[in-house]
């Protein structure tokens, strides 16, 4: 318990100080928090993080649902093969993923070579400010799709097949069965995926660090990367601590809102 509480208390106290982690802290009151409101880069990174989250969550959730549906009901051997293939990126080193995708999306990389075959001049994905964040979103969705797929696949396995059989007897098509039986009964798993994906996406750091380091310019500089810069590059742990607590408040508020809204669309057996 002490190893959990002590860092929390230290970060709270540090957020009201000017502290580099070495010298004695100087008490500033709420100056760090006021400074955040006046910091243009803070708002830029917050905006980038929101855009990243809004891009990743739909891609990951819909993609995971499609993969779960494709894997569901297959033979035992093919289930193992496909589940392993889709889940492997989730447990693969972020550094390895970053290196591979960095090569694939390089200006003369694999993707642009394929696009050139059909007469399309591909951009410099990670160094063009118009495309860098989109490229990171796609890589992140690809890397993170395995975990929600397993969650949704577990939900599919738990649906009583007699419901589908009864709907078939009544003449319901596959599309109607999906929207009126499968999807409603999957809402608890979808809700869990949305909550966890929001928390994970809003704290994205490793992919940004490996692929773009916040560039070009500030196009992919996200909240946690800016927090990291303040703490370990600029040596301002007090300011970084204030950012951490603002992040906690944002995540807690949105999660609470999700918990309240789930009463309207999540169906529990």
Per-residue pLDDT of 58-116, as tens digits, reads 999 999 999 999 888 766 666 778 888 889 999 999 999 999 999 999 999 999 999 99
Give dist(CA 10, CA 13) in Å, integer. 5
Q: Residue 244 pLDDT more than 80?
A: yes
Q: Range with the lowest mean pLDDT among 1-15, 20-34, 89-103, 131-145?
A: 1-15
Q: What six digits make up the tokens of 7?
A: 């860092």
Residue at 145 is within a domain: yes
Give dist(CA 84, CA 184) in Å, integer. 27
Residue at 267 is within a domain: no
Residue at 29 is within a domain: no
Instruction: Work out the angle at residue 242's Cα, subtended by the Cα atoms of residues 33 and 244, and round it to the nearest 5 degrees.
Output: 140
Question: 38 falls in which pLDDT band (50, 70, 90)?
Answer: very high
Residue at 179 is within a domain: yes
Q: Are 159 and 182 in contact (CB under 8 A)?
A: yes
**Average per-residue pLDDT in the chain?**
93
Closest CA to 67 of 75, 56, 79: 79
Closest CA to 165 of 153, 154, 156, 174: 174
How many domains does the chain divide into? 1
Residue at 89 is within a domain: yes
The CATH number of the domain holding residue 131 is 1.10.3720.10
Question: 2 falls in which pLDDT band (50, 70, 90)?
Answer: low
Work out whether strand 26-27 and strand 17-18 pair parallel, antiparallel, or are unpaired.
antiparallel
| Residue ranges making up the domain that contains 138 | 49-222
Residue at 150 is within a domain: yes
User: Which residues lie below 8 Å from residue 61, measured CB to CB, with a gap of 6+?
Assistant: 148, 190, 193, 194, 197
pLDDT at res. 89: 93
Residue at 230 is within a domain: no
Residue at 247 is within a domain: no
Per-residue pLDDT of 120-177, as tens digits, reads 999 999 999 999 999 999 999 999 999 999 999 999 988 888 988 998 988 889 899 9
């Amino acid at each position: 318990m002490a190893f959990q509480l002590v860092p929390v208390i230290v970060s709270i106290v540090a957020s009201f100080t000017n502290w580099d982690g070495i010298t004695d802290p100087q008490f500033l009151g709420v100056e760090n928090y006021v400074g955040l409101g006046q910091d243009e880069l803070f708002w830029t990174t917050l905006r980038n993080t929101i855009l990243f989250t809004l891009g990743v969550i739909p891609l990951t959730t819909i993609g995971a649902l499609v993969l779960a549906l494709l894997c569901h009901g297959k033979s035992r051997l093919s289930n193992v093969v496909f589940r392993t293939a889709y889940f492997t990126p989730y447990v693969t080193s972020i550094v390895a993923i970053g290196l591979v995708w960095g090569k694939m999306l390089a200006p003369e990389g694999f993707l642009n070579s394929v696009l050139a075959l059909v007469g399309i001049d591909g951009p410099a994905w990670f160094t063009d400010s118009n495309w860098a964040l989109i490229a990171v979103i796609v890589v992140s969705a690809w890397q993170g799709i395995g975990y929600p797929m397993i969650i949704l696949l577990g939900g599919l396995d738990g649906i009583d097949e007699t419901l589908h059989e009864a709907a078939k007897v009544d003449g319901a098509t596959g599309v109607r069965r999906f929207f009126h039986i499968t999807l409603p009964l999957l809402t608890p798993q979808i809700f869990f995926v949305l909550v966890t994906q929001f928390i994970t996406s809003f704290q994205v750091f490793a992919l940004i660090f490996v692929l773009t380091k916040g560039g070009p310019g500030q196009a992919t500089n996200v909240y946690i990367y800016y927090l990291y810069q303040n703490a370990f590059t600029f040596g301002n742990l007090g300011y970084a601590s204030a950012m951490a607590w603002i992040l906690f408040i944002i995540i807690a508020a949105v999660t609470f809102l999700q918990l309240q809204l789930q009463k309207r669309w999540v169906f529990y057996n």
